[in-house]
Amino acid sequence: MVKPVVVVSKCLGFAKCRWNGTEIPDSFVQKLKKHVKFIPVCPEVEIGLGIPRAPIRIVKNKLIQPKTGRDVTEKMKKFTEKFLKNLDADGFILAYKSPSCGIKNVPIYPDANTRRAKSQGPGFFGGAVIKRFAGLPIEDQGRLKNFRIREHFLTRLFMLADFKQVKKSNNIARLMDFHSKNKFLLMVYNQKELRILGHILANQAKNFKITADEYEKHLKTALKKASRYTSNINVLMHAYNHFSKKLKPKEKKYFHHLIEEYRDAKIPLSSILILLKDWVLRFNDEYLANQTFFRPYPEDLIEITDSGKGRDS
């Protein structure tokens, strides 16, 4: 698999650079290290606030350090613009609720010394990332503790990084192959956009870039929302039909039992995928063997631990 480029908050296990001189160890980020190229960054250190430092907060539309009265709004804006301007990234993992890196739920205060926040929103750096890189997987380490959010993040990250290499190849055959091997996975995410993607390739422009740009726009739209378990069941049945006539009655019964267990949220999707992958090998189904639906990202990143917010949170 291609190694995606991921911008990550430096405090998430790369340096003790939080305001109080600590870091936030994160097991998911650690596991991801061998599969991606990380670009660690701490915007607050980059603008000269030092380690340790008096905390900063968002006051209305400014970034203020209450203890010193410093207004670092313009410094943060200039750094952010310079850092993001020519950045070639595939995704972002940023610090939760940080006034600089946070992507949502960051407290916004009415003045520098009030204890209670008046509203919430993104941090200065995180908000700029969301605006400039809309369509790419952008999450904070807090949300990634939810299994469904983490699975969606990884699927988008590896698929879009793979597509970027296809786009750079300037080769229509590679784009056709990309579409073919991702067909089941795209069927899970958005059948309407899958049909549009197929139409783009069937009526491709003479210029590869025009075709690839249009394909990319609809690919990102297709991956925007996480897949629902009902869509997964639909595709699981679609794959099952490749083998149904070759299976023994007990095997069929067991498969349908697993489907119902998955429907009732008693087992993870991976439990059924393991069985289907076994049948792919047993019956030598080359088409299914190439489908990314069965392995959308490196298998050692599959971790069933969850924050407990539920499958559709």
Task: Provide the residue ranges of all domains of the chain, joining segments of one domain with +.
Answer: 5-145, 170-313
Q: Report the mean per-residue pLDDT for the chain.
A: 94
CA pair distance 19, 13, nearest whole angstrom:
15
pLDDT in tens, 32-69: 999 999 999 999 999 999 999 999 999 999 999 999 99
Instruction: Give the pLDDT confidence score for residue 304 in this predicted structure.
Output: 63
Rg of the chain, C-alpha, whole Å:
22
The closest of 17, 192, 9 to 91, measured between CA atoms, is: 9
Instruction: Give the pLDDT confidence score for residue 147 in this predicted structure.
Output: 86
57 Cβ contact list (under 8 Å, min separation 6)? 63, 64, 66, 99, 107, 109, 112
The pLDDT of 92-99, averaged and rounded, is 97
Q: How confident is the model at residue 312 (pLDDT cuts 50, 70, 90)?
A: very low
Instruction: Give the pLDDT confidence score for residue 269 in this predicted structure.
Output: 85
pTM for the structure as a whole: 0.92
The pLDDT of 137-148, averaged and rounded, is 94
The pLDDT of 262-290, averaged and rounded, is 92
Instruction: Give the pLDDT confidence score for residue 7 in this predicted structure.
Output: 98
Q: How confident is the model at residue 268 (pLDDT cuts 50, 70, 90)?
A: confident
